[in-house]
Amino acid sequence: MHNEMISEGSARVFSNKHIQTSELPRLQELALTPISRRYRIINLSAISAIALVLLSIVTALRFQPLFELPEDLVFAYPYICSVIFGLAFLWATYHFFADTKITYAVREQDVSKQSGLIFRKLSCQPILRVQHVELNRGPLERWAGLASLQVFSAGGEMYTFEIPGLELEKAQKIRQFILDHKDVSAR
Amino acid sequence: MMDEPAAALENATPQRIVKVETGDEWQRLSLIAIVYFTVRNIMGMAQGLIYLIPAMAVTFNILDNLQSPKTYAAIAGVLLLTSLSGVVSFFMYKFRVYNQHVEIHNGVFQRRYTNLPLWRIQNVKIELPFYYRPFGYALVVLDTAGSGKEEAKIVAVPLSYAHALKKRVLFEKENHNANEQSTDPNCKVNTGSKDALASVDTVKHAETTSPQDEDANEEVLNRRSIGDIVIHGVTNNRVWIILGAAAPFYDDVFGFISEWLAEKGLQLNQIVGEQTIAWWQFGLYAFVVLMMIMAAMALLSVGGALFTFYGYTLSRSNDRYIRKSGLLNKLEVSMRASRIQMITAKQDWLDKLLKRVNLYFEQNSTAGQQIQELMSPNKLIVPSVTEAESVALSREVFPHCNFQQQTYKNISKRFILFWLAAALVAPFLLAFVVGALTAHLDIMLISATGFCFISLVLVLRWWRWGIAFDSRYIYVRRGRIGVDYLCFEPYKVQQVMIKQSVFMKRKKLATIKFVLASGAVTVPFLPEEYVNTLADSVLHEVESTRKSWM
């Protein structure tokens, strides 16, 4: 680690001024941009689609003429339907409110994301620590022209930094920005 | 059939001139490797057979001819086949160290060819299975990407050759890194690959030493005596080391014990079922039995600790820390100082009484791959050192770090409130109400004591949890009855997270989480202002110093 200092020392003038903590770049002052509005639409339609498929399977089983269902199941049918509907509704409501809360910011040295409805989480990934970057596009995202950006660090799979629902062009730009960053490309 | 490295060795008697390169001729292993292969194959087969045991038991029951010559013939056949397979494996294995590459051909049905450039090898482990030791042979495990799957093993070479190879690998690696840095500081490497990671290695000592005089540099930092290890066995539960190994014999042991008890005229169901003895007598029996079990556990644990930590030494050679230990199988793990992400000093309540500390040096952990903690090359443990030694050792790795003398910023009391309100009150209250409604005093009592106990644990947890930052290191203190101290350098942080719920925001509190290559460290319910400043300074530290985390 000392070597870096030595090798770079000749290239740039070494400076080590004392920095007041108030002068540090502040996370609280991040200019956060919301992700695409289409991300919420995708999520809501995916949830409705799943709920519809489940409901139609249950209904088809209930009213098919091929074999008799046990009494209990026939009796339970309306309850099963309402449980599916209720869960889908809750899930959709969550996404309806939470998806608009997802915001991100790119600074010279790091990328940040803020998300969460009740628990607000702000994560900040220094570009220096990025190992590789991926763009992920599922079928629905492709259809909507979106992509999610995944940034991997040595922190491991569990802490993969991800910004979902970015317009493809923006996602590609951020990806390129990270890849062109001298800390990443210098390795 | 004489193996060349061994021959080369015996001709050149002095230990210093062990030739590492074997030339372009392929080498066979020493004959002792047959034992290794046989043992390995038997173990492999035994693991496979575990799933077959129920099926076999059924067939045996049907045939009911356990004692017949057929069975013996079958067993003998299986044994013969496995030992033959050892011989076959031996003949199918060849290796050479040529042109700075280690090459290995192995596999009976599935042939494998491994080619490892010496400078790519990340870690060299020398293992000494007990049947190798009298003959002075060793097993060399070459670790490439840090993942267990990509290991290459040179199965049986003379111990001195193993050490020579290890030195050579370390030497090559340093040389390679030094060259890379001096000639081509801006070399572009594909950032996506793991190799890129491997080659960012920074070299601490620019002037490399020749491989011969490295041994002289190896300085022993700590030794653990048998007494220390016994203490470690008592204070830490190392029972599983032995229990794990003995698992196949459980049924027999339990059968034996109950038979033995029956012989002595003691029958458990008799004692419990009939009112022949007074309750206090029964309580006494139960207590004595419990104590006996505890004592047996402690003994087993001491055994387990001795098994893994016998002859423990921690030494340093240049920028590497090397741990050697083991009773039957000697194990050696080495770790580069720059790779250490975090130091953890753990002190359980018993450790606290005896004033001992378990010290861990944690390296990057490949997520999803849980290796046994004690053997893992990702965590270097120094078992049950005294408090003074723990301070000295942690300063050896992180100069000037000081766990004890920090003024820790305590977390807010709302932490207790939050957990009680969020998760814990509801079930206990429910149980209490149910108890009250159905007029069951015992349910009410149990839920009330349970609630008190949980609250007590939460209070202890709140009391311990704190963070400190002395502009050089970040310290975290946590625990319940025991205390854990964590210490890491802020520039090694991979990612910073701040979490805040709606309620926490109202009270100006926030949770901070640092993701390191060795895992994440969380400190909850700190003042918002403190968290923000800390996050900003850590990010500034990472981004402005640009030091490598490896």
Query: Is there a contact between B368 and A131 if contact means CB atoms under 8 Å apart?
Result: no
pLDDT at A40: 94
- Which residues from A are below 8 Å from B535, CB to CB? 27, 124
Query: Is there a contact between A130 and B191 if contact means CB atoms under 8 Å apart?
Result: yes
Query: Is there a contact between A21 and B533 if contact means CB atoms under 8 Å apart?
Result: yes
Please report which confidence band the pLDDT of residue A80 belongs to, taking 50, 70 and 90 as the band edges.
very high
Query: Is there a contact between B495 and A132 if contact means CB atoms under 8 Å apart?
Result: no
- Which residues from B are below 8 Å from A151, CB to CB? none
pLDDT at B86: 85
Query: Is there a contact between B338 and A1 if contact means CB atoms under 8 Å apart?
Result: yes
pLDDT at B342: 92
Q: Return the domain boundaries, chain B.
A: 4-205, 218-397, 414-462
A3 vs B197, B206, B536: nearest CB:
B206
Q: Sign of torsion, CA B520 B402 B360 B483?
A: negative
Distances (CA, A) of B158 to B18, B131, B514: 10, 13, 45
Chain B residue nearest residue A122, CA to CA: B498
Closest to A48 in 3D by CA, of A16, A3, A93, A15: A93
Closest to B339 in 3D by CA, of B548, B96, B38, B194: B548
Query: Is there a contact between A155 and B500 if contact means CB atoms under 8 Å apart?
Result: no
A153 vs B495, B535, B547: nearest CB:
B495
Higher pLDDT, B19 or A94: A94
Asked if residue B2 has pLDDT above 50, the reply is no
Chain A residue nearest residue B546, CA to CA: A128
- Which residues from A are below 8 Å from B189, CB to CB? 187
Query: Is there a contact between A121 and B338 if contact means CB atoms under 8 Å apart?
Result: no
Report angle CA B466, B470, B472 to the nearest 5 degrees.
120
Q: How large is the average pLDDT for residues B267-296?
A: 71
Share of chain B above pLDDT 90, in %: 17
List the helix and strand counts (H, then E) for chain A: 6, 7
Q: Taking a C-beta distance cutoff of 8 angstroms, is the pair B3, B27 a contact?
A: yes
Q: Return the domain boundaries, chain A.
A: 39-98, 103-187
Share of chain B above pLDDT 70, in %: 75
- Which residues from B are below 8 Å from A3, CB to CB? 181, 202-204, 206
B499 vs A121, A131, A183: nearest CB:
A121
**Maximum Cα interatomic distance, chain B, rounded to a whole number of Å:** 89
Q: How many CA atoms lie within 13 A of A172 on its CB side?
A: 6
Count other C-beta atoms under 10 Å from residue B387's C-beta. 16
pLDDT at B336: 83
Fold of the A103-187 domain: PH-domain like (2.30.29)
Asked if residue B458 has pLDDT above 80, the reply is yes
Q: Which span out of B158-172, B268-282, B487-501 was modeled with the highest average pLDDT?
A: B487-501
Please report which confidence band the pLDDT of residue B525 belongs to, taking 50, 70 and 90 as the band edges.
very high
pTM, two decimals, is 0.68
Asked if residue B187 has pLDDT above 80, the reply is no
Min Cα–Cα distance to chain B from A45, Å = 28
Please report which confidence band the pLDDT of residue B120 belongs to, taking 50, 70 and 90 as the band edges.
confident
Higher pLDDT, B273 or B351: B351
A128 vs B202, B502, B543: nearest CB:
B543
Please report which confidence band the pLDDT of residue A5 belongs to, taking 50, 70 and 90 as the band edges.
very low
Query: Is there a contact between B189 and A187 if contact means CB atoms under 8 Å apart?
Result: yes
Distance CA B364, CA B372 (A): 15
pLDDT at B196: 34
Tally C-beta pairs within 8 A across A and B: 136
Q: How large is the average pLDDT for residues A23-36?
A: 87
Q: Which span out of A3-12, A169-178, B265-274 was modeled with the highest average pLDDT?
A: A169-178
Please report which confidence band the pLDDT of residue A3 belongs to, taking 50, 70 and 90 as the band edges.
very low
B188-203 pLDDT, tens digit each? 333 333 333 333 332 2
